[in-house]
Structure 1
């Protein structure tokens, strides 16, 4: 997302040893619905599994490929019992049906070869210190930790889930899909990992329809961080009306700096607007931590 500040907090940096190349990962979805095509922007945006996808439940593959991330069947108990995205046999849409070169239109209904082709470019901007060995400075090296609302202390999670349409007759302001889980602050599943981390930065990752993602201290019940989305309200690039264009992070310093072992339990709660159903949404934490020397 354009409006997420991933800059390391003062006193910290991302260390990279002897890089030979950078490989950015972009995910572009063409949402321009051509004339005569019966599809909503939202349907294309959320990667529906079209009839052209070859889903093999027995082998756990879509189009002959297994997910490069977590496999199906890794949801926590609450999601496993109720969410279609947790199992391939009930999967109807999400990033696994949106791999490179895949059409999100039913190509039996539409001649995609006759549709116009767009050329799209993306830019990754990375600032760095030149001519300096970062380990000779006072900067602390940051590492990426994690957290997934579909996970727990026993499983890392499925990455994505579906938001069902709220019950008919529910007032729009009450159409909120809420789920929670308890997980380790590191995002791992090793109960004996007591590596000490200081965490100066936390940010959530939500999709369209997201309201907020909150993390609570399990011992005190106090709110640690509530990461909220930024929605566009215009037409210019990066401010597209109704689209989620960024997330607000939480920074911690001084007496508020989080210092905790990797296996400290926290409770996370996500809320999504359910006036419309959604497939393949996410609720992930991207903490940045520096390991505390023994």
Structure 2
């Protein structure tokens, strides 16, 4: 338990068993030469109240030097049916890029020892260490959040000139699924409230936080209380079958050529406690935070982080990973201008994708190319706003892609070419 909790947030399960993935492909082409493939991940077994935190290595991914246009995920059962959030809550999924030493591949598969032979290639965001290293990633809001990149813009992957000699590029999923069937408090279970979990008696004596220190007994809930194989408390007498779930993920891409404009991923955290060491910023991303009990204040709860950006660019796409109760999240420029606001969509029904009271989508920003410029060294502000109610494990994780500010303004190409790439 102590060893597991030292691995921070999204990487809680990075040192776990190496899984292979089950492939199911539907290869499609549209009129604009965009290819589309649908895969199913390795199945994950869950039962009532059970928490599954898994790292699935070497997931199936389109091959070659390509540009990713979108990456969308949903949870399905063994028959391929979408599973509603009130049965299996997708707390988060993250797609992380890594490179693997070709000569070590067979050893890694046989020994499940990933300490050697693998190097992670994180995004260009500001968080420290292995915190928030992913490119694509959301949670229960995945089903209603668009990941489509406009026009000629795409995320370049598989460029052989950028892959270290003797290595191969691969991808993994880091996921957390919470089976809430029969739980005593379904909402509290999805927030990973510690008192609602069947925790080991010595939990606080052996579990360490981000910095390797013992977890405080004031820690009321969040990722550390939702470790793999722990369980939310069930209603008396409730019994239910186990089942196997998987991620159904659809990737759209184009073959890379001179017409594509590469984008960089920037993951920013509203809980980043930035300090300065002279001219060098030191980031202390927390990834999650608690909203304390408040009986008298009706104003929303606001969390802000001021984050200096080393390399700016033209903002192309933006959205956020949030949890139920979010009001919105906004990225501001140093002069206070609004760069992007992402608003929530809440479900009103029973069907998957429209679950009543659950966060089922976040709006996206696709500003006119070239209209929003982030300067090198600019200090951006990420502001996440939630309802002012007691909440554990709240997140304010913004995902942005932007184009290098020094690249040629390719969006001024003729209409026919732009239409071809759209």
Tell me if both proteins adopt one fold, taking TM over 0.5 as the criterion: yes
For residues 163-204 of structure 1, give each alpha carbon's deviation from its aligned partner in whole angstroms, at most 9, with x where no partner exists.
122224x5xxx25212222112x4xxxxxx3x3422211112
* Residue 232 (structure 1) aligned to one of 322, 344, 347: 347
Closer/same/farther in 2, CA of residues 291 and 255 from structure 1, 3 Å limit: closer
SS of corresponding position for 1:147: strand
* Residue 223 (structure 2) aligned to one of 95, 98, 103: 95
**Structure 1 residue 223: deviation in Å?**
1.7
* 8 Å CA contact 1:200, 1:258 repeated in 2: no
Whole-Å separation in 2 of the counterparts to 1:265 and 1:225: 15
**Structure 1 residue 111: deviation in Å?**
8.2
1:206 aligns with 2:292: no
1:52 aligns with 2:203: no
* Residue 302 (structure 2) aligned to one of 159, 173, 178: 178
1:271 aligns with 2:418: no
Q: Please give the residue correspondences for 1:14-29 in structure 2 after superposition, counting only pairs within 5 Å.
A: 14-17=155-158, 21-29=170-178
More displaced 10-residue stretch of structure 1: 46-55 or 143-152: 46-55
SS of corresponding position for 1:96: helix
Give the structure 1 partner of residue 337 of structure 2: 222
**Structure 1 residue 293: deviation in Å?**
4.1
- Give the number of the structure whose residues are more often strand, by fraction: 2
Whole-Å separation in 1 of the counterparts to 2:214 and 2:290: 11
Closer/same/farther in 2, CA of residues 60 and 33 from structure 1, 3 Å limit: closer
Q: Please give the residue correspondences for 1:99-114 in structure 2 after superposition, counting only pairs within 5 Å.
A: 99-105=227-233
Equivalences, count:
247
Whole-Å separation in 2 of the counterparts to 1:45 and 1:111: 21
For residues 220-259 of structure 1, give each alpha carbon's deviation from its aligned partner in whole angstroms, at most 9, with x where no partner exists.
x222211111111111111001100111011122452334
1:42 aligns with 2:192: no
Whole-Å separation in 2 of the counterparts to 1:256 and 1:87: 47
Closer/same/farther in 2, CA of residues 152 and 289 from structure 1, 3 Å limit: farther
Whole-Å separation in 2 of the counterparts to 1:218 and 1:123: 39
For residues 50-91 of structure 1, give each alpha carbon's deviation from its aligned partner in whole angstroms, at most 9, with x where no partner exists.
35245456x763xxxx7xxxx259xxxxxxxxxxxx983122
Uncovered stretches (5+) of structure 2, i.e. residues with no partner: 1-141, 161-167, 276-282, 408-422
* TM superposition score normalised by structure 1: 0.74
Uncovered stretches (5+) of structure 1, i.e. residues with no partner: 74-85, 187-192
Whole-Å separation in 2 of the counterparts to 1:95 and 1:279: 9
Q: Please give the residue correspondences for 1:74-85 in structure 2 after superposition, counting only pairs within 5 Å.
A: none
* 8 Å CA contact 1:148, 1:156 repeated in 2: no
**Structure 1 residue 48: deviation in Å?**
2.2
* 8 Å CA contact 2:320, 2:342 repeated in 1: yes
Whole-Å separation in 2 of the counterparts to 1:260 and 1:72: 32
SS of corresponding position for 2:243: coil
Closer/same/farther in 2, CA of residues 128 and 117 from structure 1, 3 Å limit: same
More displaced 10-residue stretch of structure 1: 86-95 or 205-214: 86-95
Give the structure 2 partner of residue 151 of structure 1: 272
For residues 239-289 of structure 1, give each alpha carbon's deviation from its aligned partner in whole angstroms, at most 9, with x where no partner exists.
00110011101112245233422x310222221112x41100101111112
CA-based RMSD: 2.8
SS of corresponding position for 2:145: coil
Give the structure 1 partner of residue 292 of structure 2: 164
Whole-Å separation in 2 of the counterparts to 1:225 and 1:198: 12
